[in-house]
Amino acid sequence: MPIRHSTDSHRATKRHGLGPVMVDLQGEALTGEERELLRHPAVGGVILFSRNFSSPEQLEELVREIHALREPGLLVAVDQEGGRVQRFREGFSLLPPVRRFGELYDRAPEAAREAARLAGWLMASELRAVGVDFSFAPVLDLDRGVSGVIGDRAFHSDPKVVARLARAWLAGMREAGMAATGKHFPGHGAVVADSHVDVPVDERSFETILAEDAAPFARLADNALAAVMTAHVIYRNVDRLPATFSRFWIEEVLRGRLGFQGAVFSDDLGMAGAAVAGDILARAEAALAAGCDMILVCNDPEGAGMVVEKLRWPDTPLSHLRLARMHGRPAPARQELLAAPQWKKAVEKMARFTGNGEEGMLFQEPCQ
């Protein structure tokens, strides 16, 4: 739908900050309609997918053009976890699923932490070299052996191990100039249903969820974690709404009990797990009312156009500050990175991360 830029006072207050909507793109270059959409004050970010990528050079030009559209620049994000969720592959280092670090941890904890740190640094440094602000990573869900959509995307089944490995991963991201987003709060690993295509319901008690699945989020709620993404899961014994639309989970638990001060992103509001909140505009309004700072509207150009045109949102200075932290910090250009000994060492070690027992030797620190 055509985008009209309102000039009323409500809109005018937003023009110098980031709006609360993150949208996607259809191809490898911006269309005229997409440029118009991204200039709308309700938009604050862009999430990229595999369809938006053909080469690092093309990607860098696309990101440069997105950033040039607005001041402050729109946030540019991607899902670049490693394993089966890695949108950019050709020309980027292939990363193992993070479960591999958990498997190594059971044999060699220090080696596993170093491997996780190195993987976080490698992922983040390659994205920052082409201008991408951040990846929605790492996954903090527990690997309970029941969720196919989580599975090997989780570090481990033990929340303490997940927190230790994730903290190492975050340290690598931070070294590369990238803020981290933990997902999916308060935990997606205990339900069989996939929230992309169904409405998962978790029947466990609040006390169990808080003590187990939410524990990695609690351990990382300090400044190590800049953002959290919510789960489209209904925790029936806690709230009738999925966490994305629940003020109890976001405001009372995440911000109140856990003391989290970073940004809160919704998962994609186009997913089936979000449908209980109504149409796409109702979902957007409900997620923001529950405490999300930014909402994702993906794979629905008409819906995205309707949301940014009709959405009314509170002008919250704290949200602007939280989202501003997600901008990537200055980083070496791609050619400089590829020539760096640190990058070459990291690529070699990740490529040899084969799962046949040699990883522990690869990541052990030499004896002093």
- Assess contact for 173 and 166: CB atoms under 8 A: no
- The 10 Å Cβ neighbour count of residue 206 is 16
For residue 235, the cross-strand partners are 202
Q: Helix H segments across 96-254?
A: 99-105, 109-129, 159-175, 206-211, 215-219, 247
133, 267, 268, 293: the catalytic one is 267
Verify whether residue 10 is a known catalytic residue: no
Among all chains, which residue has been given the structure tokens 């946030």?
Answer: 75
Gap between the Cα atoms of 327 and 335, Å rounded: 21
- Assess contact for 185 and 229: CB atoms under 8 A: yes
What values do phi and psi take at 199, rounded to 5? -110, 95
196, 222, 279, 315: the catalytic one is 196
- Assess contact for 36 and 69: CB atoms under 8 A: no
- Assess contact for 156 and 138: CB atoms under 8 A: no
Verify whether residue 5 is a known catalytic residue: no
Q: How far is CA 144 from the centre of its chain?
A: 21
Q: Which residues are known to be catalytic?
A: 196, 267
